[in-house]
Structure 1
């Protein structure tokens, strides 16, 4: 509900109509899928924030929870805007890309050797870097087509 305040409806409507060209409908499906991925990743971070807050020392928890909360907000904003075909998804997508890259770099750089480093690498390669790449592409490519 709170995201509605930050994402007012746009006047130019949805993705494609029955009379639209096949490419427009196909592009709309891709954008909806990308929006679902970003919004889903943002929602998946919410329980993670609670886990971090409960397991890390207070000083570390404050830093990591803040970083991951900013990532969640940016991913949710970009994802919901993509779902509504709102061209204003570019700024939160760009911010999410930067935050995700920073998160991956800091995770790997500060991890202890062994299982902690392996987990940090797996999270970076399996989640943070692919999401950052998607966000970067969405932020850069949308300018030429919007």
Structure 2
């Protein structure tokens, strides 16, 4: 049995599509405002908590995806998609928030050798059709 992505059959989906597209479009000028007004540096509270929380979500996503894959559970695909997005975001913020020098070189190496390959693997799981329903 082949699973096909469900189609939205409600009357709300054209409105939802318009809302989501409008929200994405509204972010474009907002990004320009941020680019011109945000400071280059900032002191941040709870920095370690934020990063530990992100790593906890990554661990849950990777472990959950692996366990669901072992069971041939089709729910692995959406979890893998979310995990891929988190891994790409983690790589981006690791590289862009690290000071220049050896710390940034380490962040780039981790992004290239670990986070982005894992994101690609999760993305492959997300687009692959499940074997069993």
Offset, 1:143:
5.6
Q: Does 1:112 align with 2:104?
A: no
Q: Which protein has the bigger helix share? A: 1
Tell me which structure has the larger Cα radius of gyration: 2
Unaligned runs of 5+ in 2: 1-43
Using structure 1 for the length normalisation, give the TM-score.
0.57
Task: Output one character per residue of 1:99-137: Cα deviation in whole Å (capped at 9) or x when no partner.
Answer: 000000000001111101100001000100000000001
Q: Does 1:96 align with 2:110?
A: no
Unaligned runs of 5+ in 1: 1-56
Using structure 2 for the length normalisation, give the TM-score.
0.63
Instruction: Give the counterpart of 1:87 among 62, 74, 78.
Output: 74
Aligned residues: 90
Task: Output one character per residue of 1:58-98: Cα deviation in whole Å (capped at 9) or x when no partner.
Answer: 71111001111001111111000111111211111011100
Q: Which has the higher contact order (CA 8 A, sep 6+)?
A: 2
Shift >3 Å, 4+ stretches:
143-146
